[in-house]
Structure 1
Amino acid sequence: MENDGARVDAVERETEALVMTETTRDISAEEVCVLIPTLNEAATIGDVIEGFHEHGYTNVVVVDGDSDDDTREVAREHGAQVITQSGDGKGQAVREALEYITVPYVLMVDGDGTYDPADADAMIEPLARGYEHVIGNRFADMDDDAMAALNGFGNRLINRSFRFVHGAEYDDILSGYRAFTTDSFERLSLDSDGFTIETELAVECVKHGVDTTVIPISYSARPEESETNLHPLKDGGTIVLALYSLAKTNNPLFYFGSLGVAGIASGGVIAMYVLWQWVQYQQGHEILAIVSAAAILLGVQLLMFGVLSDMLVTLHREQRRRLEQITRNARERDDD
């Protein structure tokens, strides 16, 4: 059950892409803030900051999750502005850091040394063409030992699940290398605290119609002296659950429809058992029969609610697009 709004957007996005190529503007490095969320990255953060400095990006903000190593000291020594986050988790760090950023563009990257600062210009370039959010695709140029087999399988499974549930093809929704406008970020409703921030960003971009594109980047193995903060099974399961729960408002037909189908199926199985017991042994199971009927009725109601919710979401998106078009036309008239 694909997101109807995403399918409706497909043709419009192609048209917008053509318009974007005609509205290219230069973005200077001074207009970009390199945002690096960190937690115990003392071994790599210095090289990451220096890498961006070498490519002209000197406005670097490190938002640190109260590391117990020398991450903050090393970052300051290399010329970065350091913020110690007030809460916990990468998602909370990103939201808090955006309150201190005054430039119009943000380049978000992990501080573990796996992403190449040389890709910064390529990440920023689509923003100059009018896109609002850019995702770096790690699978385009990944070192053989950059990702464990289990992590690679989990990433591909999550990307397929995202495409199926939310109806958009972003190739690598868990990528930590992203570029976006601060205006588009403010339109998103984000409340994730941990590693699900990338998943939530992708879903919110679809939900709010943020113009998003994907570009190939290189992805290297984590240096031996750097330890990962990711727990594949635990965090992977959390991400999958987040994908499903976020469908409640982005693709309600899938969310409530799947619950409805599960209710109808479970009620049907119980009903078949009750019928078999009656035919085979002439034994009645009144309580099970009531449970079966209740499960089927609840499933049908959830399915109907999903259809109605999907219609409301589609109508809301249509209205939002019209309002945005009216706003753009008004701004163009004011500029003239």
Structure 2
Amino acid sequence: DGDGTYDARSAPELVRRLVVDELDMVVGARRSSDPNAYRHGHRAGNWLFNVGVRMLFGREVRDIFSGYRVMSRPFVKSFPALATGFETETELFLHAVSLRLPFAELQTAYGARQRGSHSKLNSIRDGTRIALYMLRLLKHVRPLVFFGMLTGIAVLIGLLLGLPVVFEYLETGQVLRFPTAFAAASVFVIAAVCLSSGLALDGVSMTQREQKRLVYLSVERWRRDPPC
């Protein structure tokens, strides 16, 4: 980001942490007491996404959308960079999580924008895009979790539809609401398909992680100067 909101004086410390602690990414977690530093609703939005990431991916993070980052050569060379907009920060985080790469966050000062500049971020549009992209990455990185959630939803719907029919059959000995029974059975079939898809794609995801890991391990951490 070249909008003057990040403190450039923090850069040496970010690099030092990367080198000394042998990390693959150090993120400058934004900290600001200036009420004008964030647009209306952005603090709450950032907090909500941070909580969502912690719940979905099991990793504590304070500022997933920070644009102030230092990364190692192996991290950069193995990063696919598929995102095209504000989803890039999310993709960087999930790349580190999926390959179990060491990273850390370091608090850095964050100030208000310079006069005459404006943010290109549209809170609703880009927030929705990021949320959908996060779910898409969850499907690729942890497909069993993604399809497991769909399975749980389908099972719940199937029970809501099917249990009244079952109780009615136990009382009367007849299926009086055949369309509802058929719908419940269909939903349970969908649940089974979702679960089997998650199990199959989990194996594919593991293979992809292994390939990325091999690329990561094949890159020298420090570039060696060519002999004179």
* TM band (smaller chain): 0.7 to 0.9
**Secondary structure, counterpart of 1:171 in structure 2:** coil
Render the CA deviation track for 1:271-323: whole Å, top value 9, x for unaligned.
2354577769x773323322211111221332344345446656876798799
1:172 Cα offset (Å) = 0.9
Q: Which position in structure 1 is the counterpart of 2:118? A: 227
Q: Which position in structure 1 is the counterpart of 2:133? A: 242
1:292 to 184, 187, 192: 184
Which structure has greater strand proportion?
1
Matched ranges for 1:259-270 at <5 A: 259-270=150-161
Change (3 A) 1:224 1:322: closer
The TM-score with structure 2 as length reference comes to 0.81
Checking the alignment, whether the CA contact within 8 Å between 1:116 and 1:218 is kept in structure 2 is yes
1:327 Cα offset (Å) = 9.4
C-alpha separation in 2, matches of 1:250 and 1:204: 9
Q: Which position in structure 2 is the counterpart of 1:124? A: 15
C-alpha separation in 1, matches of 2:146 and 2:83: 19
1:157 Cα offset (Å) = 0.7
Matched ranges for 1:1-336 at <5 A: 110-129=1-20, 130-139=22-31, 141-275=32-166, 284-307=176-199, 309-310=201-202, 313=205
**Secondary structure, counterpart of 2:104 in structure 1:** strand
Render the CA deviation track for 1:197-224: whole Å, top value 9, x for unaligned.
1111111111123331111111111223
- Regions of 4+ moved over 2 Å: 141-145, 208-211, 272-280, 282-288, 303-328
C-alpha separation in 2, matches of 1:203 and 1:323: 16
**Secondary structure, counterpart of 1:253 in structure 2:** helix
Change (3 A) 1:202 1:319: closer
Change (3 A) 1:157 1:124: same
Count of aligned pairs? 217
Q: Which position in structure 2 is the counterpart of 1:73? A: none
Which consecutive residues of structure 1, in runs of 5 or more, have no partner in the other structure?
1-109, 329-336
Change (3 A) 1:169 1:234: same
Q: Which position in structure 2 is the counterpart of 1:49? A: none
C-alpha separation in 1, matches of 2:214 and 2:121: 42
C-alpha separation in 2, matches of 1:298 and 1:136: 43
Change (3 A) 1:245 1:321: closer
1:196 Cα offset (Å) = 0.6
C-alpha separation in 2, matches of 1:321 and 1:146: 38
Checking the alignment, whether the CA contact within 8 Å between 2:73 and 2:219 is kept in structure 1 is no
Checking the alignment, whether the CA contact within 8 Å between 2:77 and 2:219 is kept in structure 1 is no
C-alpha separation in 1, matches of 2:215 and 2:117: 48
C-alpha separation in 2, matches of 1:226 and 1:320: 39
Render the CA deviation track for 1:11-68: whole Å, top value 9, x for unaligned.
xxxxxxxxxxxxxxxxxxxxxxxxxxxxxxxxxxxxxxxxxxxxxxxxxxxxxxxxxx
| Aligned AA (1:289) | A
Backbone CA RMSD of aligned residues = 2.9
Q: Percent identity?
A: 29
Change (3 A) 1:223 1:273: farther
Checking the alignment, whether the CA contact within 8 Å between 1:187 and 1:208 is kept in structure 2 is no
1:171 Cα offset (Å) = 1.6
1:142 Cα offset (Å) = 4.5
The TM-score with structure 1 as length reference comes to 0.57
Change (3 A) 1:265 1:197: same
